[in-house]
């Protein structure tokens, strides 16, 4: 396999339609648009079913990149994986993280150890009645393995973060299933987000051998003892298939960057965040770590389903004014921002089967000077 170089660029945005930072990087030559493989973003919507800031951001990015790729905007999504996570509550700051990849014949200086590598794959389109069920688990597992191969990573231990964008149900999609004589996992659009996220996360766990493959429909959102330690799934209205992005370290990569991770056991697990930073040689803020520069932190957050955090009752699940996912993003985002020294971190709500119940994975990418 040819050596690859992976680049990572975090760019602040002033709104979901702001592409000026990316265009400036392209104009300066820092980013070659033909090498962009994936863009992950945080947008300032509500993160719910009707959060159209995600679709708006993708539309703006596609329109801006299309001329540089000699493609119509609608075809840019077939070439680049876009994952927009809505919700920047509290101190979370809207931004995008751009991942590039290019093949090189041989690096002038081979970096020591394994370095960041990225791979992408997609599932087929799902029928509405397949969301949140075993079909989505199975298809996702297949796509994760394909993304690993695309990244040049064979050992699951080298995988530190698997980001998935997955679909949700709408009333039209529920009615379409009913017209075929089939029932969906739920008739609630909001609840379907959790079902889709959960099934997708279980697909990651199956692919990486974290759990056994013999799962059933009823395991989703019920068997919380089953989870992936590296999955991060985000549902949206803008697609009907899963987009899978695998991030890990590979000996075939000559990247300046490396990734590590840890698992938060609950929403206030600062020790796990510190462990994730330390896994790639970083300290808590202010970092000032020689030879290391923090690029971004990626984490999942959710309100503990049992209604408590370390024995103390929380009210996130009982607030009828503000969604529990918004509470969780704000709480975990604040914790991570304090330790990382920046609010421009990627914290996504809804961690069903993504880490232990009430917790979630946290991954860190850093630039290594060697």
Q: Is 183 a catalytic residue?
A: no
Catalytic residue among 117, 228, 234, 304: 234
Calculate the CA dihedral of residues 241, 118, 93, 243 and round it to 10 degrees.
Answer: 0
**Is 318 marked within a binding site?**
no
Task: Supply 59's token pair.
Answer: 């539309």
Catalytic residue among 117, 165, 196, 228: 165
Contact 219, 126 (CB under 8 A): no
Contact 126, 136 (CB under 8 A): yes
**Is 355 marked within a binding site?**
yes
Pairing relation of β-strands 308-309 and 312-313? antiparallel
**Is 348 marked within a binding site?**
yes
Q: 70-101 in b/e burial notation, b at 16+ Cβ within 10 A?
A: ebebeebbeebbbbbbbbbbbebbbbbbbbbb
**Is 349 marked within a binding site?**
yes
**Is 329 marked within a binding site?**
yes
**Is 235 marked within a binding site?**
yes
**Is 359 marked within a binding site?**
yes
How many other C-beta atoms can be found within 10 angstroms of the C-beta atom of residue 109?
A: 7
**Is 250 marked within a binding site?**
no
Which of helix, strand or coil describes residue 354? Answer: strand
Who's near 360: CB < 8 A, 6+ residues apart?
232, 263, 264, 299, 300, 301, 302, 332, 351, 354
Task: Supply 9's token pair.
Answer: 């660029």
Q: Cα–Cα distance between 315 and 13 in angstroms, integer? A: 32
**Is 12 marked within a binding site?**
no
Contact 302, 321 (CB under 8 A): no
Task: Supply 100's token pair.
Answer: 């590039």
How many Cα neighbours within 13 Å face the side chain of 304?
A: 20
**Is 291 marked within a binding site?**
no
How many other C-beta atoms can be found within 10 angstroms of the C-beta atom of residue 42?
A: 30
Question: What are the two backbone dihedrals, phi and then psi, of residue 318, each rounded to the nearest 5 degrees?
Answer: -110, 0
Contact 301, 326 (CB under 8 A): no
Q: Is 192 a catalytic residue?
A: no
**Is 197 marked within a binding site?**
yes
Rounded alpha-carbon distances, angstroms, from residue 353 to 93, 115, 262, 265: 26, 27, 15, 12
| Binding-site residues for substrate | 54, 85-86, 197, 234-235, 329, 348-349
Residue positions annotated with a catalytic role: 165, 234
| Binding-site residues | 54, 85-86, 197, 234-235, 302, 329, 348-349, 351, 354-356, 359
| Binding-site residues for Mg(2+) | 302, 351, 354-356, 359
């Amino acid at each position: 396999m040819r050596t690859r170089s992976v680049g990572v660029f975090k760019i602040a945005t002033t709104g979901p339609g702001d592409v000026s930072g990316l265009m400036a990087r392209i104009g300066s030559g820092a980013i070659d648009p033909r090498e962009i493989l994936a863009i992950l973003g945080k947008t300032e919507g509500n993160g719910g079913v009707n959060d159209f800031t995600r679709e708006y951001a993708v539309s703006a990015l596609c329109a801006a990149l299309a001329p540089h790729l000699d493609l119509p905007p609608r075809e840019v999504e077939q070439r680049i994986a876009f994952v927009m996570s809505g919700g920047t509550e509290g101190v979370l700051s809207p931004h995008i993280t751009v991942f590039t990849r290019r093949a090189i014949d041989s690096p002038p200086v081979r970096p020591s150890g394994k370095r960041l590598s990225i791979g992408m794959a997609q599932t087929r389109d799902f029928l509405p009645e397949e969301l949140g069920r075993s079909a989505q688990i199975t298809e996702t597992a297949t796509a994760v393995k394909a993304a690993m191969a695309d990244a040049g990573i064979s050992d699951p231990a080298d995988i530190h973060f698997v980001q998935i964008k997955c679909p949700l149900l709408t009333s039209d999609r529920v009615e379409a299933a009913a017209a075929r004589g089939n029932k969906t996992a739920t008739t609630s659009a909001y609840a379907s987000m959790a079902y889709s996220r959960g099934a997708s996360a279980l697909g990651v766990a199956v692919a990486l051998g974290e759990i056994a493959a013999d799962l059933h429909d009823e395991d989703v959102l019920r068997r919380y003892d089953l989870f992936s330690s590296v999955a991060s799934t985000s549902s949206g209205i803008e697609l009907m298939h899963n987009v899978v992005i695998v991030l890990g370290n590979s000996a075939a990569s000559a990247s300046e960057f490396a990734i590590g991770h840890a698992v938060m056991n609950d929403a206030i697990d600062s020790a796990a965040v510190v462990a994730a930073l330390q896994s790639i040689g970083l300290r808590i803020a202010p970092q000032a770590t020689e030879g290391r520069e923090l690029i971004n932190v990626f984490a999942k957050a959710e309100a503990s389903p049992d209604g408590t955090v370390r024995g103390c009752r929380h009210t996130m699940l009982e607030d009828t004014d503000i969604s529990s996912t918004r509470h969780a993003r704000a709480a975990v985002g604040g914790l991570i921002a304090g330790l990382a020294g920046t609010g421009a971190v990627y914290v996504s709500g809804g961690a069903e089967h993504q880490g232990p119940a009430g917790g979630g994975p946290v991954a860190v990418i850093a630039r290594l000077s060697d």
